[in-house]
Amino acid sequence: MPARDLHYLELVEVGQRIRKRDLSAVEVTQAQLDRIAGLDCQLKSYAHVMGSSALEQAHAADKEIADGKVRGPLHGVPIAVKDLCWTKDAPTAAGMKIYRDNRPSEDATVVTRFKEAGAVILGKLQMTEGAYADHHPDIDPPRNPWDAMLWSGASSSGSGVATAAGLCYGSLGSDTGGSIRFPSAANSVTGLKPTWGRVSRYGVFELAATLDHVGPMARSAVDCGAILGAIAGADPKDPTAVLEPVPDYLANLNGSLRGTRIGVDPRWTSEGVDAASTKVLQDALRIAVDLGADIHEIVFPDPTAMIADWFPLCGVETAVAHEATYPSRRSEYGPGLAGLIELGLQQSGTDYQKIVLRREAFRGLVRELFEKIDLLAVPAQTFAAPSIDKMATLGENPDLITGLLRFSCPFDMTGSPTITLPGGFTESGGPVAFQFVGRHFDEARLVAAGDAFQRVTDWHRRHPSL
């Protein structure tokens, strides 16, 4: 295979070729490290490259596979993790100036599980400060590989850029208000936000404990399923990780949506939504019908209060997470994260309790909705492929913030799983995506639906010219 094609293979295919010994893990890893060295000086997706340990892991994978010990679909495949996952082999800065020299004494559970699956960890991916909205002023943000003038997403920006640019075969991101979904949409990759509690958060730097979700970003739904299968499950180190067994997300993928009930709220998903996002969702629904799905017109519970409540709730939880360093080291924080913490510190106990009660009521309404449907189809955002300049005005434009969060943070408030799928491009060439939302712990259905869509479309196989 020509070297120029190797970096854009899907993760599962690379794993199969390594297991067949058509490719070696060392060969693939070295090719990835060479590509990172050649391109990432412009793209800025990596906070720290772990070249030596990656090659050691690749050599170990090749030896195990040669000896007949195969660990699964990730064995020998180079991946990367967002720089809020603890790694004892490398610093974990979480996009923060305070932690630039922080070396954890152990790996995050998700990193441990990657190693147990035989994956090769290429490095730590750049992110916004503390996983909130903005990069720290001292950090050069990752560049969108499709167009350097387009937003690369937040906060898993490095994960989206590296995966899209062929600098890893898959990555981990985290999502508190949309940060698996925004960079997946912005960079035209597939992102899977699992149900809250499906993946352990132990050793993952906290933004907001009851909102944080850790999940995969990759080239395809199948690749996301392979990654989720490796990292999901109960963890004695994280009592909030659920005990429910982890299914085989790659089983029973038949390319059909026959009998799947997909709910759509025509008003909510169209009013105030731009033409490109509307077209992508409509096209996706037509394809779903062709694949056998039944479309049900529904009315989604009004999420207005959830979008407004997300900020103070996130602020309170972030203030708790940063108690050891804020306000004592306030001068080392950027304005965005500091502002969120200050908002949290301003909330009273009764303010917080009212938010908790509204959130629980909303969760109940959404749970009831999923008694009638299997999946919910929504845009990724109300506006597609925003420019960096447009997103720079976010703090001054409440309508822009609401449009960004409209189809994302309600599903962090409910803890619902979602899959973000590339679905087209704007007239100027910017990526556009849509989402399927599922009932709790029904990620297998999301993977199957994403796979069915991607078998008959090629949006996820289009790559930026670099």
Tell me which residues are annotated as active site.
Answer: 82, 155, 179
Q: Concatenate the DSSP letters of all residues of 365-384 into one string.
A: HHHHHTTT-SEEEEES-SSS
Q: How far apart are CA 95 and CA 322, in angstroms?
A: 14
**Residue (of 111, 91, 109, 89) closest to 100 by Cα position:** 91
CA-to-CA separations, 10 to 300, 306, 318, in angstroms, rounded:
35, 36, 36
**Residue (of 124, 119, 116) closest to 58 by Cα position:** 119
Instruction: Tell me the two tokens of residue 297.
Output: 């017109």
Q: How far apart are CA 50 and CA 116, in angstroms?
A: 18
331 exposure class (CB count in 10 Å sphere: 0-12, 13-18, 19+)? exposed
Residue 117 dihedral angles phi and psi, to the nearest 5°: -80, -5
Q: How far apart are CA 344 and CA 459, in angstroms?
A: 40
Radius of gyration of the chain (CA): 21
First to last CA, the chain: 19
Contacts 24+ apart (CB under 8 A), 348-357: 351/312, 352/312, 352/313, 352/316, 355/309, 355/312, 355/313, 356/313
Q: How far apart are CA 284 and CA 453, in angstroms?
A: 8
Measured CA angle at 300 (ends 172, 453), to 5 deg: 50
Instruction: Tell me the two tokens of residue 288.
Output: 């779903």
The count of C-alpha atoms lying within 13 angstroms of the C-alpha of 6, restricted to the half-sphere facing its C-beta, is 22
Contact (Cβ atoms closer than 8 angstroms) between residue 271 and residue 304: no
Strands 294-297 and 261-264: parallel
